[in-house]
Amino acid sequence: MRLDKLLGMLGEGTRSEARDLVRAGRVLVNGVPARDAGMQVMAGQDSVALDGRALEYKPVRHVMLHKPQGVLTAARDKKQPTVMDLLPPMYAAMGCMPAGRLDKDTEGLLIITSDGQLAHRIISPKKEVGKVYLAHVDGPLGEADIRAFAAGLHISDSDGEFDAAPAVLEILSSAAERSEARVRVTEGKYHQVKRMFAARGVQVVYLKRLRIGALALDPALAPGQWRELEDDEIELLETEAD
């Protein structure tokens, strides 16, 4: 591809800014200063450096993001910040998109990837990739709730009606005013976890996604922080979604 296109895909500015970098002699291709921003380079084969810093090209990118509350799970929005605003421009330029959604007020594990097929498999109910959430609710939970989740709940509310697939509810603590639980679902209906708890008479006051399949949120990532997935983590996702 053209050198200026590659620089843009790697988040090093627009095409015109890339041409300025080349004219200033700041870009090396295979150790030699580039003279033409339109020169053809083999991404992944030719070495490209900017100001002595090697630029690494990967045809596919996978990111683990600890999505914070208050941020939309969307590629872009004219009025509100989105999860893509938390990443360098390179990722949007390479076609990365969120694999599934988290509500604006929900935090936790979100995968952002340029592999559209993998993203589809992760969110497809047919693949039954489990998603585990930590939920705080404003009332007590008990054995009847565990059995109801396991049997599959019928949801009928102002957002519509559907039959939720069986889910696993693990109660961590229960009290009259506040309870804490983990829940594993294999679907991703609109506000699903919140609506399931609401069907049992309690409201979710805090929700965090902890895991997608066998991939857990890195505890070292604070809300808003991210990192690229390791090879073994990518393999976990691909195996889970086969």
pLDDT at 12: 83
Pairing state between β 215-216 and 53-55: unpaired
**Rounded to two decimals, what is the model's pTM?**
0.84
| 220 and 167, same domain (yes or no) | no
Q: Which residues are catalytic?
A: 103
Predicted local distance difference test score (pLDDT) of residue 119: 92
**How far is the first Cα of the chain from the last one, in angstroms, to the nearest whole number?**
32
Q: Which domain holds residue 46?
A: 3-55
Name the residue among 140, 73, 156, 76 with its Cα closest to residue 112. 73
For residue 209, the SS3 value is: strand
Contact between 25 and 33 under an 8 Å Cβ cutoff? The reply is yes
Claim to verify: residue 71 and residue 20 sit in the same structural domain: no
What local confidence, expressed as pLDDT, does residue 57 receive?
Answer: 79
Position 26 scores a pLDDT of 95
Query: Percentage of the chain with pLDDT > 90?
Result: 77
Looking at the 3D structure of the chain, how many domains does it have? Answer: 3
Taking 50 as the pLDDT cut, the residues of the chain under it are none
pLDDT tens for residues 136-149? Answer: 999 999 999 999 99
Q: Which of 33, 55, 77 is the C-terminal boundary of a domain?
A: 55
Question: Same structural domain for residues 195 and 149?
Answer: yes
Per DSSP, helices labelled H in the chain are 3-9, 15-23, 89-93, 116-123, 143-151, 192-199, 231-240
Residue 31 and residue 146 in one domain: no
One domain, residues 77 and 187: no
Question: What pLDDT is stored for residue 232 in this prediction?
Answer: 94
Handedness of CA 196, 201, 207, 213 (dihedral sign): negative
Q: What is the CATH number of the domain that holds 150?
A: 3.30.70.1560
- Both 101 and 221 in one domain: the answer is yes
